[in-house]
Chain A
Amino acid sequence: MQPEVIIETRSLSKVYRDFWGRQKVRALKSLDMEVRRGEIFGLLGPNGSGKSTTIKLILGLLFPTSGQALVFGQDAREVTKNQRIGYLPEESYLYKFLNAEETLDFYGRLFNMPRAVRRQRIADLIEMVGLNWAKRRQLKEYSKGMTRRIGLAQALINDPELILLDEPTTGLDPIGTREMKDLIIKLKEQGKTVLMCSHLLADVQDVCDRIAILYQGELKEMGRVDNLLKVRDVTEIRATGLTPLAQEEIRLAIERNNGHILNMDNPTTTLEDLFLKIIRESEEHPGRRVRGVGERT
């Protein structure tokens, strides 16, 4: 049996109009999709493809021109659904004159949480996003990454079942990005459902179970990430400890079987992995210049 549907859109469309009611942009054209419990769903597409519009329609921040968006089986304009939702906006739209604790307390009160529960939850979240050292500072003094973290904390204040993340990794440094991605996966492990949109393909590839690709407001592709990315007529072999002789033997074996070698080389790591490795090592041995992976060999 398939898990229950959390988000459902039925030929959801949005047309932006100007003051006089003239059509300006068709931001979304008849989108049909479903997000099921426990999965990480990614909305992918270039700028202006309708990703944010979709999320805002699902949240009830925008009203559909036609069609319907259902969240937990209720209409998206219904406020009670928000009880089970956490939302991290594209940029953390928070009140700059509050400090971290006040911010979380404010949003906690909007969930009608009792004081004791609120306190505990705020302490936990601030600890989790690593802002303990700055919790008494006003948000206007925060860096972009810090604002993003506190934004994430407020999205999780109610321990939501469904989390909507609008461009979760923009503005974050590589460490922050990795932490964000780890966190998203952790949320999935806790059984939560995540809908995120991003134009950073690597991020989506790393965490999402299923993706939908939007272009100019139209759904172009939807499916499981591993299925979509699998190149079925290419075989990849990764091995270690092979002598050049053994490699030659494998090459011959492939040719014997009418295979065609596309590439046979030492792999390179990603820049992300390299960067994180350097940071990790410098934390372990402060003050020493670390030679890169390439130099060492």
Chain B
Amino acid sequence: MVLDLTDVTPFLTWLFGLGWTDGAIFGLIPLIVVLLLVGGGATWLVAAIRRGRGATSPRAGAIVSTAMAAGIGLAVAGIVVWLLLPAKTTAAIQPAFLDGAAWLLGSGWYHGAVYQWLLVAACAAELAFAFGWLASAVRHGPVVAFATAGQLAGDAVLDTLRISPRRVAALAGLAVKESIRRRVIVVFAVFIVILLFAGWYLDPKNPNPARIYLDFVLTATSYLVLLLALFLSSLSLPADLKSRTLHTVVTKPVRMSEVVLGRIAGFTAVTTLLLLPMSAISYAFVQRGLAHTHDVLIDDLQPVRGSTPGQPASLQGRTTVVSAHSHKVFVDSATNAAAVEMEQRHTHSLPLQKITVGGKAMYRTGPAEGMLVARVPVYGKLAFRDRTGQPAEKGINVGDEWTYRSFIEGGSLATAIWSFQGITEDRFKDGLPLEMTIESFRTHKGIIEKAVLGSLLVRNPSSDKNKPVTVEIFGAKDFAIDAHKIPRQWQTAGGKKIDLFKDIVSKDGQIEIWLRCDDRGQYFGCAQADMYLRASDASFAWNFVKGYLAIWLTSLLVVSLGVMFSTFLSGPVAMLATLGTLVAGFFHDFMLRLATGQTLGGGPFESIGRILNQENMTAQAAPGVATTVAQTLDAVAKFGLYLLAAVLPDFSRFSLAEFVASGFSIPGDTVLTYACRTFAFVLPVFVVGYLCLKNREVAQ
């Protein structure tokens, strides 16, 4: 997978330069700071734990404060040095593929997500320290505040290290009991009711019913569970504060870290307990909802045109209509072998069963096949050749607003070439199963029912002299996955025998697959992800579980956010704040674009002006006082937005439902990335929640 730094957290781009530019923070100075902090902190910690006392003494606080202040000083010095240095040339080459744990632990000059996360955490800790010192200084003066802030930082570390599993378990158990008392089971009932009536609304005529079913269950589950997580987590602590039950709890030897962690753990347990049966029921619902068989009346079967009359010939016919579709069936009357044509992205398993219903003999197909799949695609890299056969960066733009696909011209040498790696004989024993989604673009109508013709060629990339070899000529299907197979052996039109692995695939397992459009004046549009080799299918059930795992991870994040907000806000306000974070997180990309000025019409204030003046978004703003004021305000707003976008989790990336619904296996490292991203956010959220609760007067 191609890794983007912003993947880990957008905060980085703000702090450490954009894209792949190495920020100053990556240099030696911060490393020294981190080492200083870690070293000093560890020494002090060992001493504190040995002393066996909880509260950090003012003296220890002052030491911690000194270390923190030194950290801030060094960081500031680092930034100043960086600003003074001449601009560095950017490392323009992106490492295209980072496999396995490299994105996490780093490889080469890339330091890895963990390192960056630690760095960000250290910076955030410094910021929190500075903020704590300021807040304390306002009330107690700068000197006392110096010790206080250090004490607070020390206590935070101690309170985190001394968390007792038994107490957390007790508090989590209480949260679960509270949830049960709040009738969590109602959510489950609602889910069942929704499923019961879902059949009325799910359109059976859709060309891809599996997608509709999967989309539906995954969406329904995630909305219900996320809403529940939101309600439970944000209302619980404020209710406890209001009813003062928290007084009795915190006068026991309970650390605030345990109170916060207990809630998070408890409510996560509730969502987990709810998700387990929900996923099982959803799975059964999808399986049962899509299961069907068809019948074919034997008398209705017609001989295939071209077969000799009187001979036992191949027969063809259509099945009965079930779930708003029927299949074309071919039966060889001699051998009884049969074939069922693909419809609504599935066929039926064979053999056909002979049955008699109401005195009529008919065949019955097996259960549906290929509806619920988890394809494991092998993607290649796409390159283009122009109409003269010369390498080109892109194909032709046919004026489509969506520039995702690039087009190749029919009846010319224009070609789209996908290069694949890692093709070995033991991986593809039966040849290369190929799937593609090609968009045809017609400049003239032609025979509208006739598909635009294209040809598939393969080439051995080991030498430039190798010529491409035609495999197949096909009619392009629009808006559908077109499945082909490159066989192990075939004969060219010239009568030459070709062996796939001997002649075409290079020794290091590479192959080029060429696509050309054969109809003059028509075009094929393609993008890199449009063609892939379908190596093998992963287990659909396991893929389904992964989809639910993503929902679980999101709910964990929502629970943490809800608990964090509820440590300093009242119930309804905490809920709104969490909801706001969720919504803003879903529009994360837009916020970032707005903040970096990539949207048309300027920032929020300039846009308001344009709306009032009924100005076009693309028009240059007329110079004047109003424009200057608006743009100045925008600059401030954009900076605020940038900061906000930097801290917020990008929720739009937290769903894996699309993978499951469109029938692709979720890669393992994607799940791992999601999990890491979730915990990268949950941890600081927990710390913030702890600090807020710790510094709050429970009895106020």
Contact = CB atoms under 8 A, between A and B. Distances in A.
A20 interface: no
B164 interface: yes
A253 B50 CA distance: 74
A85 B252 CA distance: 8
Interface in A219-254: none
A97 B700 contact: no
A93 B249 CA distance: 9
Nearest to A74: B55
A61 B698 contact: yes
Contacts of B55: 74-75, 77-78, 80
21 contacts: A60-B250, A61-B250, A61-B251, A62-B697, A62-B698, A62-B699, A74-B53, A74-B54, A80-B54, A82-B251, A82-B253, A87-B247, A87-B251, A89-B247, A93-B244, A93-B245, A93-B247, A94-B248, A95-B245, A107-B252, A110-B171
B43 interface: no
Interface in B664-700: 697-700
A109 B698 CA distance: 21
Contacts of A107: 248, 252
Nearest to A113: B166
A70 to B, nearest CB: 11
Contacts of B246: 93
Given A62-B699, A87-B251, A106 B54 contact: no
Given A74-B55, A97-B177, A112 B245 contact: no
A204 interface: no
A109 B167 contact: yes
A118 B54 CA distance: 25
Nearest to A78: B55
A36 interface: no
B29 interface: no
A89 B248 contact: yes
A110 B252 CA distance: 7
A78 B162 CA distance: 13
B255 interface: yes
B148 to A, nearest CB: 11
Nearest to B180: A97
Nearest to B171: A110
Nearest to B56: A78
A79 B253 contact: yes
B254 interface: yes
B170 to A, nearest CB: 4
A122 to B, nearest CB: 14
A132 to B, nearest CB: 22
Interface of B: 53-55, 164, 166-167, 169-171, 173-174, 177-178, 181, 243-255, 697-700
Given A61-B698, A95-B245, 20 more contacts: A61-B251, A61-B699, A62-B697, A62-B700, A77-B55, A78-B53, A78-B55, A79-B254, A79-B255, A80-B53, A82-B252, A85-B251, A89-B247, A93-B244, A97-B178, A106-B174, A109-B166, A111-B253, A112-B253, A158-B252
Interface string A6-30: 0000000000100000000000000
A93 B252 contact: no
A98 interface: yes
Contacts of B250: 60-61
- Nearest first, the 6 closest Cβ-Cβ pairs linking A and B are A109-B170, A61-B699, A78-B55, A110-B252, A93-B244, A82-B253
Contacts of A63: 697
Contact of A61 (B177, B181, B247, B253): B247
A60 B250 CA distance: 9
A83 interface: yes
A111 B247 contact: no
Interface string A35-60: 00000000000000000000010011
B200 to A, nearest CB: 38
A158 B253 CA distance: 10
A87 B177 contact: no
A60 B697 CA distance: 8
A44 B55 CA distance: 31
Contacts of B181: 97
A154 interface: yes
Contact of B54 (A78, A92, A158): A78
B697 A61 contact: yes
Nearest to A52: B699
B174 A95 contact: yes
A92 B173 CA distance: 21
Contacts of B245: 93-95
B699 A98 contact: no
A43 B471 CA distance: 97
Contacts of B253: 79-80, 82-83, 110-112
Centre residue among A60, A75, A95, A102 by max chain B CB count within 10 A: A95
Contact of B170 (A77, A79, A110): A110
Contacts of B174: 95, 98, 106
A110 B254 contact: yes
Centre residue among B174, B245, B247, B252 by max chain A CB count within 10 A: B252
Contacts of A77: 55
Nearest to A89: B247
A156 to B, nearest CB: 12
B405 to A, nearest CB: 57
Contacts of A102: 177
A75 B152 CA distance: 13
A106 B170 contact: yes
Contact of B177 (A59, A62, A98): A98
A280 to B, nearest CB: 34
Nearest to B173: A106
B243 A93 contact: yes
Nearest to A92: B248
A134 B114 CA distance: 54
A59 B251 contact: yes
A89 B698 CA distance: 13
A108 to B, nearest CB: 8
